[in-house]
Amino acid sequence: MTIGIIGSGALGSNLARILAKNGIAATISNSRGPASLALLAEELGPSITAGTVEEAASADVVFAAMRWSVAETVLGRLPAWKGRIVVDGTNPVEFLDPNSPDANDPSNPLAAYGIKAVDLGGKYSSEVFRQYVPGARVVKAFNHLDVNVLPEPEVSGGKRVLFYSGDDAAAKAEIRKIIEATGFFPVDLGTLDVGGPLASLPFGSLAAHSFVKI
């Protein structure tokens, strides 16, 4: 089963790192093209290939690791998904310019973290996200932890918990295998309607909590 990663920021690059650490092949991409990823690919070794967004999107399992603000545009340009698996690693937050008035907005409880929540009109993020990838089997995963701890799945004598949810049992089983293969402990939160809101940053009740299975 082939794996593609769209996005090479903190999430995409750390996903590539944990896959490479476990010898799992993947193609990583960004909007700037493969040449911009040469140093990262060299760092990670032969299991990680730099490719175009289209090449990464053609994989059997595609990790959406871009910022929420560009997700609709990036994914909307791609061919039909035809039942392939898309892992929604996005969160509905907007990153703030530290010099903007928004960065000091007292009504924004997240201003101190340099972000603000995106108004989704009462919907949860995966509900919106799956509209961007019609025909895909969407699994929500790899989004609720601080991206900086992803390369360290084992801690304190146990394994970090990774939540995942989705509406297709076979798709979830494939993502569970990847979670286990990268050293995490998978916890199934059920359907997207249930698990999506629970694990989505910034206000999901299970988001940003780093549980460890001992």
Share of the chain above pLDDT 90, in %: 91
For residue 102, what pLDDT is reported? 86
- The answer to whether 199 and 140 are in contact (CB under 8 A) is yes
Q: What mean pLDDT comes out for the span 121-141?
A: 97
Return the SS3 of 207.
coil
Average pLDDT score, the chain? 96
Query: Could you tell me the CA-to-CA distances from 178 to 118, 125, 174, 183, 191 in Å, in that order?
Result: 29, 23, 7, 9, 18
CA Rg value for the chain: 17
Predicted structure pTM score: 0.95
- The answer to whether 4 and 63 are in contact (CB under 8 A) is yes
* Higher-pLDDT residue of 161, 109: 161
pLDDT, tens digit (0-9, with 9 covering 90-100), for 4-42: 999 999 999 999 999 999 999 999 999 999 999 999 999
- Residue 179 makes CB contacts below 8 A (sequence gap 6+) with 141, 162, 164, 185, 186
Asked if residue 204 has pLDDT above 90, the reply is: yes
Structure tokens given for 199: 């694990």
Strands (E), the chain: 3-6, 26-29, 48-50, 61-64, 85-88, 93-95, 115-117, 137-141, 154-155, 158-166, 185-188, 212-213
For residue 113, what pLDDT is reported? 86
Structure tokens given for 14: 């750390």
Packing angle between helix 125-132 and helix 68-76, nearest 10 degrees? Answer: 20
pLDDT, tens digit (0-9, with 9 covering 90-100), for 72-102: 999 999 999 999 999 999 999 999 999 888 8
